[in-house]
């Protein structure tokens, strides 16, 4: 494999991994607070259509990212109201949010089908990316660097700040956190909103970084991968980074297998395409098997908060 091909594969892996990583980072914070939101796929689709529409009409990718984040937050508030204020079942509500997001994005995007938008340009001057090494370091758009920054920021927030300690305490023992005066519902609302914003940004990355046109269900199940990846990474940001790039590598191999990419074409592209989802199913099965075993899962994950009187 020559250097040019290796660089091309690496750049493709980075692009394919970024939306998964951003969405998974948001879900990690949500789950650390004790909330299980399975609506990531739906929020990503809502963020994708919001980002696409703003990019199509304004040509400003940064406004498109903000629109995706805002749309994700609004969708997450639906989930938050039902599960945190009304104590609805989190699993069922998350699934309903995904169904809603899928239908809403298809309806809102029906008049934009196959219309092109401009891909987001690299953050740094193009002169810095002329050399292969420079392309690896400086040849990406803003969301790629944003995802790396958020990995470090979320790790620091969770482990080095008082607010992060409170969030983890709410996820581990909500009754104890409530008894010493912390607003469990308030903390969880903020976490759910942050997760929605990250999912919306991740969705907006699809038309801005990967596919410069609107297509129904363009996230193609990446939200489910993000949810499974949080468990795969044991709720740790840096493991999440490694896991996202592992999934991104498999997705890239699928593209090169379809293009007849040398030895990769020995394995049918359909097998490569199925691998991320098979891994997702395996992780979900593992969750069920190890539900009562010793894991790093927050103790209150998925359990409604019912304050003791």
Query: Residue ranges per domain, the chain?
Result: 16-220
Among 29, 27, 25, which residue's Cα sits nearest to residue 39? 27
- pLDDT for 95 equals 95
pLDDT at 212 over 80: yes
- pLDDT for 309 equals 58
- pLDDT for 294 equals 46
For residue 117, the Cα-to-chain-centroid distance in whole angstroms is: 22
Q: Are 76 and 234 in contact (CB under 8 A)?
A: no
- Nearest-angstrom CA–CA distance, 270 and 4: 26
Between these two residues, 294 and 32, which has the higher pLDDT value?
32
pLDDT band at 9 (very low <50, low <70, confident <90, very high): confident
Mean pLDDT, the chain, rounded, equals 88
- Nearest-angstrom CA–CA distance, 266 and 249: 17
Among 149, 186, 148, which residue's Cα sits nearest to residue 166? 186
- pLDDT for 40 equals 97
- Nearest-angstrom CA–CA distance, 90 and 5: 45
State pLDDT tens for residues 59-96.
Answer: 999 999 999 999 999 999 999 999 999 999 999 999 99
- How much is the pTM? 0.92
Placement of tokens 């001057």 in the chain: 125
């Amino acid at each position: 494999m020559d250097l040019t091909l290796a660089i091309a594969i690496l750049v493709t892996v980075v692009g394919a991994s970024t939306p998964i990583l951003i969405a998974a980072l948001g879900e990690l914070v949500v789950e650390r607070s004790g909330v299980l939101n399975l609506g990531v796929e739906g929020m990503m689709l809502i963020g994708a259509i919001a980002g696409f529409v703003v990019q199509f009409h304004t040509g400003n990718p940064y406004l498109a990212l903000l629109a995706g984040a805002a749309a994700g937050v609004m969708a997450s508030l639906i989930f938050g109201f039902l599960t945190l204020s009304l104590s609805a079942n989190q699993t069922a509500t998350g699934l309903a949010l995904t169904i809603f997001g899928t239908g809403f994005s298809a309806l809102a995007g029906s008049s934009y089908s196959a219309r092109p938008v401009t891909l987001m340009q690299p953050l740094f001057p193009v002169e810095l990316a002329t050399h292969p090494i420079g392309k690896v370091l400086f040849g990406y758009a803003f969301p790629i660097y944003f995802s790396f920054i958020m990995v470090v920021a979320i790790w620091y927030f969770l482990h080095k700040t008082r607010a992060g300690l409170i969030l983890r305490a709410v996820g581990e023992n909500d009754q104890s956190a409530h008894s010493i005066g912390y607003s469990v519902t308030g903390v969880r609302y903020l976490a759910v909103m942050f997760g929605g914003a990250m999912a919306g940004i991740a969705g907006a990355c699809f038309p801005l970084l990967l596919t410069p046109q609107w297509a129904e269900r363009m996230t193609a199940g990446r939200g489910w991968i993000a949810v499974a990846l949080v468990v795969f990474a044991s709720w740790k940001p840096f493991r999440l980074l490694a896991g996202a790039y592992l999934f991104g590598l498999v997705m890239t191999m699928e593209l090169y297998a379809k293009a007849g990419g040398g030895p990769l074409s020995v394995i049918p592209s359909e097998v490569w395409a199925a691998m991320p989802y098979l891994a997702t199913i395996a992780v979900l099965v593992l969750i069920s098997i190890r539900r009562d075993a010793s894991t790093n899962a927050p103790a209150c994950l998925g359990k409604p908060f019912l304050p003791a009187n």
